Amino acid sequence: MERLTAGRYHRILVDETGDGELFQLAGPGLPRPVPLTSPISTGTLEQAYLSLRLAIVDHLDHGQERLPLFLDEALVNWDAVRRERGLEVLAEVSGGRQVFAFTCHPEMASRLEAHGAHVVRLER
């Protein structure tokens, strides 16, 4: 989460007590964790969702064969700055596991390719 948000938020907390919001964001500029709900922006919510996916897949295959990661339009709603950070993180992740990123956006395919992805264009 820290890399995706350029340090604004550094972790996602999980409240397993059932007393509050399930997920909360913590960061150095926050006096206390904030719920991962509105008014948090859509971009930040999607950064958190990607962070959770990456953490879950790392947890599931810890010490075992690396599972592939499948993403479908995971970065499509991100602004350009967030998208580049996300692509950098995915490029790093792809060094240790297969990453399949599906998109119907030619620009996104080009950005993925610029970050080392092998792009396969499917016919309609």
d(CA 25, CA 32): 9
Instruction: In whole angstroms, give the CA distance from residue 25 to residue 36.
Output: 6
Instruction: Name residue, tokens 């692509």.
Output: 87
| CA distances to 68, 86, 87, 110 from 55, in Å | 13, 14, 16, 26
Calpha distance 89→78 (Å, rounded): 14
pTM of the entire structure? 0.87
Beta bridge partners of 24: 13, 35
Spell out the per-residue pLDDT of the chain, length 124, in tens: 999 999 999 999 998 888 878 999 999 999 999 999 888 888 899 999 999 999 999 999 998 999 999 999 999 889 999 999 999 999 999 999 999 999 999 999 999 999 999 999 988 7
